Structure 1
């Protein structure tokens, strides 16, 4: 008869062996990417700066390599700091990293924007709507509105030459509100422009693991908000209000205008006419899709103005090209663009030097990823450091110098630069409105340079006011700190004549 103790010992050994085999079989054969050591439990929570994190990521890349890994409360974060790393992880595996990480703060009470929603039926429906109206062929009818808004921009600048930041916000906001909702923005203080600006600023602070504490420790989100402190409760309430305002109010304004017969032509009006009145699901998809088309480009255009103040020779060279191709009697139009390589190069260099979203929205690994040297586990947050890539000396000599000439070949034509597309995101999650944004920014740059000299402002004693090239200390949006400048008409009589045209 078998001894009971022996049988028990044998079974225990078998069980232990089975567990060990399972653990061994699950253990990755490759190590995680290297990175700073961090601390027990909290990991690198205090290592990742809340301001300009892309700069620190790039510094770590020089020490640990172009693929680095970090950890916050057990959550693995992988940062890709080179074109080859993005190609290997994101572009070669588009579906595997098309997801978005779970953002507890946004999930608690608010809707997620399309660029933060993970791939699925909801995302595909929203993306389909946006792609339908903003693919390259679809944006051609918007050119007339873009010209109309840029003429209004020139008029505003002529009236108030020192308020360029306000004029830029109005230009971007007016375009989106007109095309999408049929709403006419009168001033930069317009309600809808203001809430969009507030939402973009707010969202940039709450979508990363280093944001609100519930992003790093999601289980805390199960607690009543007041238990996490008065500041957290107020932040959550503000987010809920802004999400509701941005998603619902412009859409409802257009619906009411349709009912009263006062609605202008718009994407919302066209889309609503294609679904039945009782299709609540279809209406919700439209509302959420259009609510994500924000007035982007303000940060990039502010960077353009800053660099023109700091680089007068670049400005002069662009104006000589504009005078030669367009003349001074009309506003540049999109037909002129192929013949203005240097103006194109300025936009390209602004996008390279100061990408508006240097680390974009984070991706999520939907499955384990085995690279040649490293292992990225399923569920990892994957961040692509566009700022590091667009400042990589392997592709851009003297990357910290603003030099549009780098984008022009010996034949005088603009060079193709697929890496520059990283300024608009990566893979399947690239910005769906990038073609419209590119056209809008180009028209702004060409028109402002054609009619104005962008100069340092002067104080009451006639002394130039210094301009600082520092950027705002944020964790997502990259834009210059407020600075003072003035725009002086190059030919006031021609400008006045153009501004009087309807």
Structure 2
């Protein structure tokens, strides 16, 4: 059904299992369902600064949420040049090393995140990406298991870190310094980059009530969130490559639209987005087909007693939202949900309103960076399809190599398992355009 519950020792957990139920509770009753549970593991590990984990009544929540929302919305166009430049660099790199799509995609996502948030260039600051990756990896299955363990048995947090049964606390004590570096180091290195437009410099330079502590918190929140969910664009970017191999007719239709609108004399830009509806539907279908978050996001909590469909949901009750395929493959919402059909989002050649925004969350906890993530994915998809044809790789005998739809099943982010592929230039004009882009970027 749309909602059910089970008990873990002395705690009851409610699972929201349908879009309609999630909309009823998390969107329409957001005031009641926007809280977070009191997870002792989060501050122990050092993530108490992160907006994603803050309790709704935390005095920092509203001002931090406002700052983050402003940076991701009103200033979005300011950073299109960063997205465009990094995408062009990716295309140039793929031209030289077409077999390196997966590591180059990872570098592309990391470079955009670092430059947009802090103005740092990846080359001399690659350690910041490793730092973020290490810190975000702490939010893996083990950390969320530890959070639930402390939620079920609160007394464990009061044990000395060295005591038997305090393994979760010992783990947090060991890894807290990594998270603190993520919070402080990128801002501390900013003095040489104050002339570089980025979210951090905007906040530091503008006349604002935000303290340096606030700025560190919101930028680290954005940085970590983008690193996590840019496993986010990184994951859909890999799904895109897989989908183009498995469904070549969709690639042909997308390239026909690009040729008709963009032509062969230039590379696509953001201004083309409104005139390329099929590319937009392709991006939507990639996100629906294999969402990056396979099961659930961060747990919500109820801040007052509520009744839904005759059932009492008590104050403080923990509830998970089963997103991922449980919702994106819901046959009551999407016709033939297991089929890859970008055209499901088109009506008479125009985008409809059927997109599953719920993959980014619900209500007041929806991801504030969703537009930025979608824009980055769109730019990558349209640029790669302009320049390359994606196809199956050949084996030593010249036969097509089989490609299977296989994804990782563990961890917070689901990604395609490695698969063979081939990238080939569509025509010589594209190569000239890429070389011109190289000269412009020098």
The C-alpha deviation readout for 1:33-56, integer Å capped at 9, x for no partner, is: xxxxxxxxxxxxxxxxxxxxxxxx
Q: CA deviation at 1:133?
A: 1.3
The C-alpha deviation readout for 1:346-383, integer Å capped at 9, x for no partner, is: 11111112222242221111111101231211111122
Match of 1:79 in 2: 15
d(CA) in 2 for partners of 1:302, 1:234: 36
Among 334, 346, 357, the alignment partner of 1:408 is 346
> Is 2:272 the counterpart of 1:336?
yes
Match of 1:291 in 2: 220
d(CA) in 2 for partners of 1:211, 1:199: 16
Change (3 A) 1:447 1:287: same
Among 328, 334, 346, the alignment partner of 1:390 is 328
Q: CA deviation at 1:238?
A: 5.5
d(CA) in 2 for partners of 1:216, 1:309: 46
The C-alpha deviation readout for 1:188-240, integer Å capped at 9, x for no partner, is: x9222233333333313255457663344232122233335797467425641
CA contact (8 A) 2:265 2:429 kept: no
CA contact (8 A) 1:126 1:289 kept: yes
Match of 2:53 in 1: 116
The C-alpha deviation readout for 1:54-85, integer Å capped at 9, x for no partner, is: xxxxxxxxxxx211112212222111111221
Match of 2:115 in 1: 178
Match of 2:358 in 1: 422
d(CA) in 1 for partners of 2:252, 2:82: 28
CA contact (8 A) 1:154 1:499 kept: no
Alignment map for 1:60-459 (pairs within 5 Å)? 65-112=1-48, 113-119=50-56, 120-135=58-73, 137-186=74-123, 190-206=126-142, 208=144, 213-228=149-164, 232=168, 235-237=171-173, 239-254=175-190, 256-257=191-192, 263-274=195-206, 282-293=211-222, 294-295=226-227, 296=230, 297-358=233-294, 359-387=296-324, 388-409=326-347, 411-417=348-354, 420-459=356-395
d(CA) in 2 for partners of 1:466, 1:201: 32
Unpaired stretches in structure 2, ≥5 consecutive residues: none
d(CA) in 1 for partners of 2:401, 2:174: 37
Q: CA deviation at 1:461?
A: 4.7
Match of 1:57 in 2: none
Change (3 A) 1:121 1:231: closer
d(CA) in 2 for partners of 1:306, 1:133: 32
Alignment map for 1:11-22 (pairs within 5 Å)? none
More displaced stretch, 102-111 vs 422-431: 102-111
Q: CA deviation at 1:475?
A: 4.4
Q: CA deviation at 1:134?
A: 1.1
Unpaired stretches in structure 1, ≥5 consecutive residues: 1-64
Pick the structure with greater CA Rg. Answer: 1
Change (3 A) 1:239 1:353: farther
Change (3 A) 1:249 1:461: farther
Q: Secondary structure at the match of 1:470?
A: coil
d(CA) in 2 for partners of 1:239, 1:486: 40
Alignment map for 1:472-483 (pairs within 5 Å)? 472-483=408-419
Measured on the aligned residues, the alpha-carbon RMSD in Å equals: 2.4
Number of paired residues?
427
Change (3 A) 1:145 1:231: same
